[in-house]
Amino acid sequence: MTDTATPNDPMQILSGALPFLKRYDDAIVVVKYGGHAMGEEETALRFGRDIALLEQVGVSPVVVHGGGPQINAMLKRLNVKSTFVQGLRVTDEEMLDVVEMVLAGPVNKQVAEAITRAGVLAVGISGKDGGLIRARKLNRTYRDPDSNIERVLDLGYVGEPASVDPKVLRLLIGADIVPVVAPVGVGEDGQTYNINADTAAGAIAGALGAERLLMLTDVPGVLDPEKRLIPEMSVAEVKHGIEAGWISGGMIPKVETCMYAVERGVKGAVILDGRVPHAVLRELFTDGGAGTLIRP
């Protein structure tokens, strides 16, 4: 949801937050963090401080992160060529090694370290740890414009969550440790899969029955046909927006993730601009919020 004021001091935000602190006491909040929202070092440190503050005031945050820019930089550095099918990048065996190395390695540990530096213990894991994310190969189809026949896209080792076992997350939360999850899963046959971070966050939020799923992105939220921010939408209203065509492009997978989570018990999912200072705190602890809330 949106607010005309944009306080930059977290203490200013928390000064009027008592009703919201009661609402979120002991509540699980899953935060998807990645892309442009990860930004520069100071942005990352500010995010770490905000997540640490959540834990300190009684919220139980779980962070799920992406790392597209970091993966691209490493692919370039290692001279690994990308293959695209219908505009989508294929994750072959060589690329999968790079994806796992970057996501479960430096990116994961940097996010966890930023939170720990702010005074709260955070532990970085991947979806492969503790049987967290059981994955399956993602099947995508497209309609051939020449023959009008539906064909299957083979994106290699790109997967989606088949199931989520949140036991390891609950153990960390119970010990007042913030879990930081890299979106990599493993199949029944032991095959590793690269999973979209938005999709992984939605599945984890659903499995935990989280109070909120916060999707930090590089847009203010869902915009109406006149390009105005919509503070709140029901699942039915989102489906109508997709059918009518004014929810389109890259926003569709984001709202689909939010609907998936809400339909599995998450109280509400929010798409908000992670580049805005203290966006997470503003969304949870101010009356106006900071993006578009999607509810049942």
What pLDDT does residue 133 have? 98
Q: Flag whether 288 is marked binding.
A: no
Q: For position 127, what pLDDT does the model report?
A: 97
Give the pLDDT confidence of 119-150 residue by residue, as tens digits: 999 999 999 999 999 999 998 887 777 777 78
- Average pLDDT (240-258) is 93
- Give the separation between CA 195 and CA 20, rounded to whole angstroms: 33
The DSSP output letter for 123 is E
Digit-coded pLDDT (tens) for 208-225: 999 999 999 888 999 999
Confidence of residue 84 (pLDDT cuts 50, 70, 90): confident
SS3 content of the chain, % helix, strand, coil (to 5): 40, 25, 35
Name which of 283, 286, 284, 280 is nearest 43 in CA terms.
Answer: 280
Once rounded to an integer, what is the mean pLDDT over residues 270-282?
89
How many Cα atoms are found within 13 Å in the side-chain-facing hemisphere of 126? Answer: 21
Band (pLDDT 50/70/90 cuts) for residue 37 is: low
102 and 71 Cβ atoms separated by less than 8 Å? yes
Whole-prediction pTM value?
Answer: 0.90
The answer to whether residue 28 scores a pLDDT higher than 70 is yes
The answer to whether 68 is a known ligand-binding residue is yes
